[in-house]
Structures are given as C-alpha cells and as structure tokens.
Amino acid sequence: MTDFEALPSPVLHSVAALDGWLLRVWDFSPAPIREGREGRDGPGIEERRTVGVIVAGHAMMADSRTLCRPERATIVSVLVAAGFRVLVPDLRGHGESGPPASRGGDWNMDDLVGDVGHYVDLARSLEPELPVMLLGHSVFAHAALAWLGQNPDPSVRALVAMSCAIWNRRFEPLRWRWWLKRLLIWPTVLITELVGYMPARLLRLGSADEARSFWRQFHGFMRRDRWDSKDGKIDYFANLEHIRAPVLHVMSEGDRLYAPPTTCARLSAPINHRELLVLGRDDAPGDLARLRPDHMGMVTSAKSKLAWHWVAGWLRRKLGVAD
C-alpha cells in the first residue's frame, strides 16, 4: 500500500527547438473519475475532467526525476491527482534531452528561456481548450519568468516560481552571504574552464552536469550585477513588470543560501500580480509555518507534500475551479 496516488504511465514527446535541439517532455494525464451527483431527476454520474495543463520544470544540475518518480509522492503526482495534465520537460542537456555537457552539449540561459515557448506551444496543441500554467523549481522558474516577461501570453493563466532567486548583489541584503556566494562560485568557474563544462556529478553537486556557456552566463549575472541575455540586449529583470498573469513565489526559511526569502522577494518585486508564500514563517497558512525545506527539499522531500497540495489548490483557485 502507498500513501499517494500513483502516477499514470507517461507519454514521451519530442519537440524540436529552433536551433534543432531535441527536447523531450514527459506527459502525465489524470485518469477521468466518474462520480455520483444528485440532480433534479435523482442520482446521476458525472465525469471529473482535466482542469488545465501545467508545464513543470526542474532545477539546474538536476533533471525531471526531481519532480516525478513512480515510487513516491512528488509534486507532479499531487498536481495530477488535483486534475491537471502535467508536462515535465528534461531541460536541454539534462535527462533525455541530450547530449549532456560531458558529451559536447552546450547551451546557455537564453536557450532555456526560449525553450519555454516550445513547451507552451506543446501544451496548447495537446489541449487547445484548456488553460496553460507554468511551474518552475529554481532555474526553470528563472526561465519561465524571463520568457513570460518578454511574452505576456494571455493563454498562460498563472505561474508558480519555487525556490527562485538570481545571484545578484542588488538582490542580496546580507554582505556576508554575498561574499560567501562569490567564494563558492569562483572554484567552479575555474574548474569549468579547465574541464570544458561544469562537472556537477563529479563534484557531487547534482545529478546532471552544466554547459560551460551556461555557467559563464550564470557567473556573468554576478559579475555585472544584472539578470539579462547573453548579449545584454534583453533585461530579464526589467521585463518582469510586463507579466500580467498571477505569480506565486514560493520560498523557504530553510533555504539559507541558494534562494533565501529576502533575496527571492527582491527578485520578484516588479511583478504586478505577485503573491508570496514563505514556508517556515509564522504568517504562512496553517501547518506550512512549520515546514522549512532546503533548496532541493522544496520538491524532493516528502515533508513538503503539504506545500505541494497548497500550490495545487492555489492553481485551481486561479482557474476558478471548486475543490
């Protein structure tokens, strides 16, 4: 017996990016449930339908397995149980969307931002009558925010950004933490230049390596105190004010370095329709005030399941769907 609803067997889609990179996307559809309903003519049968499509993406140095696994509860299993069809991409160079960096794959943040549009197009083609939503953990949250800031697409009805912060001095209020981040990034930059890619697996920092171009751009955000495109022509941070969809920014008091709440809140401040949810803070709803997951624990720890249910409920409310 399990304490969660098992994920349905997924369909694997292949999507070609504009530069020819083959993106692989796992597709989990909820099974329709037939329920009894009382009507004027007596008991009836109603089929619970899919309420929307969510594109849910993972963090850097990871892959889709952080969000969906068959043997345990995950945020994707909770979303599917809540009536959402969920598309889970392996970001380029990760999981099934190879080649990985260790085999010559190279990409940057701008590529990940552009890929969001392909995932949204896939969602619309699969369910043209249903609303589309985005949910990102860490780097996919960055990509989704940056894409939506450039493309305030009305078909995207909501966005959930989890553990999402950019390492800029302007967003970091604590001097000691900023210097710690700089001290931590320098060795990885040197190693990346020597090896030719960021060997996250060798360094035991994650399950997927990162490309040199991506790591250089990530470091560039810190050096120039900007969050922008590689050529500097697109200011991702400035474009956040163009987002029209409601955004839920989820963070945790237990995430002390990668995405602490004070840093996260400064990043998303320009968004007009923003809600903050800080796990572990006294003003968090109910038992969420007692949760303090770390950066990866936000989506990998079973203790975060209550927060996943809260996020699913928030998304349903934004669609006007009754629980």
Please give the CATH architecture assigned to the domain spanning 11-318.
3-Layer(aba) Sandwich (3.40)
DSSP letter for each residue of 52-101: EEEEEE--TT--GGGT--TTS--HHHHHHHTTEEEEEEE-TTSTTS---G
| pLDDT computed for residue 7 by the predictor | 87
- The full set of domain ranges for the chain reads 11-318
**C-alpha span between 124 and 55 (Å, rounded):** 11
pTM across the whole model: 0.93
| pLDDT computed for residue 98 by the predictor | 87
Which distant-in-sequence residues (6+ apart) come within 8 Å of 295 by Cβ?
59, 138, 163, 252, 255, 257, 258, 259
Ramachandran region, residue 121 (left: φ > 0; alpha: ψ -120 to 50; beta: rest): alpha
Helices (H), 165-252: 175-195, 212-224
List phi, psi (to 5°) of 90.
-85, 115
The one-letter amino acid code at 220 reads G
Centre a 10 Å sphere on the Cβ of residue 139 and count the other Cβ atoms it contains.
23
Strand partners for 228 = 235
Beta strand extents in 80-176 (DSSP E only): 84-90, 132-137, 156-162
The one-letter amino acid code at 172 reads E
Q: Token digits for 6?
A: 């098992």
Peptide bond into 99 cis (omega under 30): yes
Averages of pLDDT over each 10 residues, the chain, 323 residues: 69 95 96 60 60 98 95 94 97 96 97 98 97 98 98 92 97 96 97 98 96 98 97 97 97 97 97 98 96 98 96 96 74
**C-alpha torsion 133→24→32→141, nearest 10:** -20
Name the DSSP class of 239. G
Element (H, E) at 294: none
Contact (Cβ atoms closer than 8 angstroms) between residue 248 and residue 311: yes
Contact (Cβ atoms closer than 8 angstroms) between residue 138 and residue 59: yes
| pLDDT computed for residue 39 by the predictor | 52
